[in-house]
Amino acid sequence: MAVAAAESEAIGMGYDRVGTEHLLLGVLSDETSGAARMLCAAGATLSAARHRVREAVPSAPARELSPPLPSTPRGDRAIGRAVRLSHQHRATAVTSEHLLWGVLDVEGTAGQVLRRLGVDVDRLRTALEIREPTWTAVPDEPAPVLVAPLSCPSCGADLNDSLVYHAGKASGEHGPRRVIAFSCSACAHVLGVTSA
């Protein structure tokens, strides 16, 4: 949901790509999520972050934009890291906390925005690491273990560098819906699809 909200934020602000700054806005858009509450406690609000994003990245001239938007390379890496963190910790889903962690690890425009808001990014990252067991634990499962880096099953490329996502629409017996497909950028092998 945060990724879809990020795309909406980017379009609403006139941007033609989804960057880490838009992913940050997407995380903040759901005020009930754990990640949004952590950001608010650290001093970041959605309206203040929007203002700082507009200051940091000037929007392109007005034109018609519609989903799906491409991501910036750092936006792709942040989402890829969020997915890997979720898998690495054997979580049942990729949460807003995973996405925030991925955004903080990439050090893109979102980090600049947070610093301009007075947020201590290192402290926030540490808080996510401390909180991690409460939002990634799978009930009745042993503690997560670190695993080797993920590689593409088709071409063997390291997914730390080549995992990308594409947002789009799919139709089925229940009508159209928004989906996100994850794939390897080296060989275009689709690794999975999830509802947006």
List, for residues 95-140, the tens digit of each pLDDT value: 889 999 999 998 889 999 999 999 999 898 888 887 665 554 444 4
Shortest CA distance to 82 belongs to which of 165, 185, 144, 10? 165
What's the average model confidence in pLDDT over 61-70? 72
Within 10 A of 116 (CB to CB), how many other CB atoms are there? 16
pLDDT at residue 185, rounded to an integer = 84
Angle between helices 96-106 and 109-116 (to 10 degrees): 100
Evaluate whether 10 touches 21 at the Cβ level (below 8 Å): no
Read off the pTM.
Answer: 0.67
Judged against a pLDDT cut of 90, whether residue 74 lies above it is answered with yes
Chain segment 182-191, per-residue pLDDT in tens: 788 888 877 7
pLDDT at residue 77, rounded to an integer = 92
Chain segment 3-37, per-residue pLDDT in tens: 889 988 888 888 888 899 999 999 999 888 888 99
State the span(s) of the chain assigned CATH 1.10.1780.10.
2-136
pLDDT at residue 61, rounded to an integer = 61
The residue that leads in pLDDT, 113 or 147, is: 113
Shortest CA distance to 38 belongs to which of 105, 116, 120, 111? 120
The architecture that CATH gives domain 2-136 is Orthogonal Bundle (1.10)
pLDDT at residue 166, rounded to an integer = 74
pLDDT at residue 134, rounded to an integer = 52
pLDDT at residue 141, rounded to an integer = 45
